[in-house]
Amino acid sequence: MRTDRKSFIAGLGAAGILSLGLYVAVPAVADSPSPSPTAKPSEKGEDRPFRDGPRRVRPGLHGPGEHGFGLGGGRGVHGEATVRDGDGFRLVAFQRGEITALSSTTLTVKSADGTSWTWTANGDTKIREDRKDVALKDLAKSDEVRIAGERSGDTRTAKLIRVRD
């Protein structure tokens, strides 16, 4: 079977765009300006949704106040990507939208396109509002949030929740 040159170049271009989007979006979701010098890295990064290190922000890829949640300069509303983690793989997910339901351990978020996902929060979930840590109980229905975490089966576990300023 012969692969024509245009198909090969189109596939290579699509892979490059996806890689660039993941390079910008996934590591940039952490809100801390720099890693803590006393933080211990976990074994094989099992409890870290994203790699440590400073955020890489490329000029022109983010609008004012955007920090890389979603592809296309912060306009992405939800998505998932399979990423390599040591010898294995994991599925990272993000969502931007409005809280429609809230309990002591879960929140349901509805994106602008109508997609609703329920996220589980646990003791490892970092929740930020106005650059300060807050608790899940401090959130309310109709809050605009950005969430990043991992999906395993039908369960999405939030690693970072940011209340939109």
- 165 residues of the chain, pLDDT tens digit each: 455 666 666 665 666 566 656 555 555 554 444 444 444 444 444 444 445 545 554 444 444 444 444 444 467 899 999 999 888 999 999 999 999 999 999 999 999 999 999 999 999 999 999 989 999 999 999 999 999 999 999 999 999 999 986
- Whether residue 25 contacts residue 78, with contact meaning beta carbons closer than 8 Å, is answered with no
The model's pTM: 0.58
Least Cα distance to 26 among 157, 156, 149 occurs for: 149
Burial class (CB in 10 A: 0-12, 13-18, 19+), 36: exposed
| CB hemisphere CA count around 120 (13 angstroms) | 10
**Alpha-carbon gap, residue 132 to 19, rounded angstroms:** 31
- Whether residue 69 contacts residue 29, with contact meaning beta carbons closer than 8 Å, is answered with yes
